Structure 1
């Protein structure tokens, strides 16, 4: 574990870069330290050289003072000479000069200094001191010449000392230059090595990894980086390769899942298409054999199953009847049997095996109230219907069952409507034309009796006139009944039908009739529309025939309490007799109001005239299917 950790540390790019930076820092610190040490060692060298150089001037000054003593200026010369000797001693033993003396390695500089000091103390200084004493004799020319020669040699030694001091200082500066040069060269080499390391170990791998990431971002998951070393970027490259491989696998998995979901969505779309078109066929018009055949062909094409049969048979019955089949001619149909068990004993979807080995998928055809039969699908050999296919077939079988139930209820409603209309026709014939014919039959009997007696000739003429009037009335009633019975509803809404009816009666009677349907904003059943239309026609007929009115109005409104109110009013003479004897049509209107579970009222209109009010609940209408447009046949 420790060896592996140490190996990672050795291979670490951070460690290498840190080592290079540390080396640069060490070289910089070393150079600065050596420079400081050399600078510190040369500190005071210039002062020491200046002081050593001043010894030459002081030596020649003392020589000039010595010459002055020889020339006779004794008092001033001796004092100045003593002062010059003291200054020379102080300068020669000054701290800068003593501190500049190197260690044992610089023998020449030490030897020069000791020679100058020795010459000063042993040869030069004693002569100057002796000449500076108060009682000393004045030096002669020979002594002056000898002293000048010795001072010249002494100054030469001082010059040699100064040169040694300058050479020592220059050697220190040279060492500083060499150290700084070596530090600079080594620093430059380390910097170049660091730049190379950064380029090869950091910049180049980063560019490669960046290009790799860019290609991966563009969707190329097959790319792999070749930089997989032991350092951090190498491990990052390995991680990138693993990531790209995982992304490639994940992308392939996603592609397969997308393809699977696309197939499922395509299948769902085709299933919804099949369901939509089947529902449109089944509920768009009264279904028949062609409609069921189209649904069976769509099932066979979309689901890929076998042929199908729509078989009707009441539960508990003994036989079935195929109303549509897509089976090829010659195939045995399970509905051909007298005891069609599949048609009567299927309550849930199931797969049955026939005697000939065929597999049949059977689904009940039912609505919320009854079961009408089954939908039988002939499965191909070895085929097993999937769950979604069974669910779709269940939905289709339910819609087929609803369509069959709706068709049967429509047929039943048509029969009920036909019976109701026949009853209304019978009542209207009985109350109008039958009574008139009975009355004329009595009048004919009376006419026969009057014709046998010549004395009743006047009565016979009166009876004949009454017969003529009765025949005219019966003929008019017959034409009204025929016009009413020929009404046929075919298409348009109740508003247009009422407008056509009002225009017809206004044209026939030559009066103004106003129609207001602005508040008719609730739905009526076809049966309710028929009864409302007949009541309005009968009321307008009474207005034309009995009211002697100049204006009439028809209004319909849907009240908030869920009832429809129909008002027909006129400005005529009003009701003169009771409903029992006034006119047969009033009884018919009352019958229609009772059929609608409502009531009809005959009221006097304020200002004169009659007001007929039909009031019935909208939810109490009997449902029947009758087309909605008036056409006089």
Structure 2
């Protein structure tokens, strides 16, 4: 495999640096062991040769000693062991076993062939067939003549036998001298081999490891100094060759990246600027939609901002009604002809209606759609169009479109932004609808409370006046002046009470909290009661809890006003006590010392309609509990309790 194509591909075993180092080590170790082994062999041969010289020298001495012993007629017990010893020494020299008699244990060495071996055989032959025969004949014969003759023959052949031994010693000494020379040469060669091996190892380590590492260090140093044209030569196919190839590829990549860095920075900057524009547009449109605007104003501001963001030439916002019709709510850059023709569309009409069912519709160029269908926006000069849904909780409530007079490709980021803005617009429209419904519901509730107040107070007073007027007409018809005098004060009192009730109702319904200060408004309500009726009142405020939300404060104030109004009109009390405990729970208690009543009697007399039901309904709107405790002759106590979980944040 080419290292340039795959710099870190697995290498064959014979190309790896570890294989080279191992091979070099094995070769060096083999040469060293061979030299050492040959030196040991030479040393062993020299030692064995020395043993041969010693033994051969002892044979000369033994030969003369044997001759002297025979000539002096020594006994067999002295001569025969010498003969056997002579035989043993010759056998040990021939076999290389060394002296087996215990007098010398060094092994001998005689070459298995060559002059030394032949000379040793000649010495053995001379001993076996001549010298030993004569010596044994001299010992074994009893005839003195024959004994003397054997001794004479032994002594005559002794010089030649000794010369053969001397020649053997000379040949061994010459061989040992040559081996000594070879031993010295081997030792000298071993020294030079060690020096050469050391030099070779150093050279190969520099060639294989140190050199590539230094070249790579130099390349890295040059690259760190912004020399991006540096390249390393690939001089081997091993691991360092792979590293050099990878370094060159890295240098090419760095140079390429460096050359395109400015362009990439510009692209990233443009991309970042585009993202910032998207975030800015999203923030701007979201901030606008979160404001209090009418639905038409919301749609108009929304359309203007996204048209400016995408540089569109026109646009529309359409709202879907319950019948499935799209109504043109706002428009920009659209002709009056399109407005009149498409003021109300069905969901399957044109592209704007189809988008409510199909999702996003983007037309880059109307010419690509052909002439099979008529598009009014195309006839007005639009080349591209993008239509997006207005969603609320995944429910389609409308669509908005952007028209372009030139072919326009809406990118994926722009599409995602417009889809997100469509959801925000749908939420804003839904919020405005909910606010309108809440206001409508609040107005309806207030009107209901107003109607109840008018019916339960003024209507009953007017009914009483109507009865008195009828009685007055009857008295006039009968000319009963005494009855007229009795009726006239009742009419005046009834009119005055109705006037005061109307005024009180008007004041109650016009009550507004200033700066959410419930305490001061409650004191004002108590002061008003004291001025109107002359009652003595006291208010006690305790607790360090947070203030109630403004809408809750207003309902609490209305309940207090109703309670004080009932005390003024019906209780005939002298003292009024108001206690407010604002902690985690809010509790308000209104007590009087009037004549009291029972709820059963109040229902029977219709007195419940004079404020009790109104207070109960207001308490239910608060999520609070209203308790009414009253007994005839023991006054009345009204307690309003708002638990912590029902409190709203002020």
TM superposition score category, shorter chain reference:
0.5 to 0.7
- In the TM superposition, residue 299 of structure 1 has moved relative to its aligned partner by 1.6
- Aligned partner of 2:409 among 359, 369, 384: 384
Kept after mapping to 2: 8 A contact 1:365/1:397: yes
- Deviation string 1:178-212 (CA, Å, 9 cap, x unpaired) is 23333443454355334433431355446667988
**2:346 pairs with 1:347:** no
Change (3 A) 1:480 1:588: same
The equivalent residue for 1:609 is: 635
In 2, the alpha carbon distance for the partners of 1:410 and 1:37 equals 115
- In the TM superposition, residue 29 of structure 1 has moved relative to its aligned partner by 3.8
- Deviation string 1:80-109 (CA, Å, 9 cap, x unpaired) is 999699869966975577777768866899
The equivalent residue for 1:486 is: 510
Kept after mapping to 2: 8 A contact 1:364/1:373: yes
The equivalent residue for 1:539 is: 563
Kept after mapping to 1: 8 A contact 2:628/2:638: yes
Kept after mapping to 2: 8 A contact 1:282/1:291: yes
In 1, the alpha carbon distance for the partners of 2:609 and 2:579 equals 18
Change (3 A) 1:367 1:102: closer
Aligned length: 563
In 2, the alpha carbon distance for the partners of 1:594 and 1:89 equals 150
In 1, the alpha carbon distance for the partners of 2:514 and 2:313 equals 41
- In the TM superposition, residue 175 of structure 1 has moved relative to its aligned partner by 2.0
In 1, the alpha carbon distance for the partners of 2:92 and 2:324 equals 139
The equivalent residue for 1:72 is: none
Higher deviation after alignment, 221-230 or 180-189: 221-230
* Structure 2 spans left out of the alignment, 5+ residues: 1-11, 97-108, 146-157, 347-351, 356-360, 364-375, 531-535
Kept after mapping to 2: 8 A contact 1:436/1:474: yes
Kept after mapping to 2: 8 A contact 1:319/1:338: no
In 2, the alpha carbon distance for the partners of 1:347 and 1:525 equals 44
- In the TM superposition, residue 33 of structure 1 has moved relative to its aligned partner by 3.6
Higher deviation after alignment, 213-222 or 532-541: 213-222
Higher deviation after alignment, 348-357 or 432-441: 432-441
**2:580 pairs with 1:574:** no
Q: Structure 2 matches for 1:460-609, cutoff 5 A?
A: 473-474=497-498, 476-488=500-512, 492=516, 497=518, 499-507=519-527, 509=530, 510-513=536-539, 533-543=557-567, 546-547=570-571, 548=573, 549-553=575-579, 570=592, 572-575=594-597, 578-579=602-603, 586-590=609-613, 593=616, 603-604=629-630, 608-609=634-635
- In the TM superposition, residue 341 of structure 1 has moved relative to its aligned partner by 0.4
In 1, the alpha carbon distance for the partners of 2:326 and 2:51 equals 142
In 2, the alpha carbon distance for the partners of 1:470 and 1:85 equals 183
The structure whose RCO (Cα within 8 Å, separation 6+) is larger is 1
In 2, the alpha carbon distance for the partners of 1:318 and 1:48 equals 130
RMSD, matched Cα: 6.8
- Deviation string 1:209-244 (CA, Å, 9 cap, x unpaired) is 798899999999987642253456546755776798
Kept after mapping to 1: 8 A contact 2:315/2:334: no
Higher deviation after alignment, 77-86 or 266-275: 77-86
In 2, the alpha carbon distance for the partners of 1:105 and 1:94 equals 18
- Deviation string 1:237-291 (CA, Å, 9 cap, x unpaired) is 5577679879999999999999999977875665455344423322332347775
In 2, the alpha carbon distance for the partners of 1:294 and 1:500 equals 42
The equivalent residue for 1:31 is: 35
**2:43 pairs with 1:42:** no
The equivalent residue for 1:298 is: 305
In 1, the alpha carbon distance for the partners of 2:23 and 2:393 equals 87
Change (3 A) 1:170 1:253: same
Kept after mapping to 2: 8 A contact 1:313/1:321: no
In structure 1, the residue corresponding to 2:403 is in which secondary structure? strand
**2:199 pairs with 1:192:** yes
In 2, the alpha carbon distance for the partners of 1:15 and 1:368 equals 71
Kept after mapping to 1: 8 A contact 2:595/2:632: no
The equivalent residue for 2:102 is: none
In 1, the alpha carbon distance for the partners of 2:435 and 2:638 equals 33
In 2, the alpha carbon distance for the partners of 1:40 and 1:607 equals 145
- In the TM superposition, residue 487 of structure 1 has moved relative to its aligned partner by 1.3
Give the TM-score of the pair, scaled to structure 2.
0.60
The equivalent residue for 1:400 is: 425
Give the TM-score of the pair, scaled to structure 1.
0.61
Change (3 A) 1:361 1:291: same
Kept after mapping to 2: 8 A contact 1:366/1:402: yes
The equivalent residue for 2:285 is: 278
* Structure 1 spans left out of the alignment, 5+ residues: 1-7, 70-76, 137-150, 326-331, 622-626
In 1, the alpha carbon distance for the partners of 2:378 and 2:310 equals 22
Change (3 A) 1:370 1:489: farther
Higher deviation after alignment, 285-294 or 376-385: 285-294
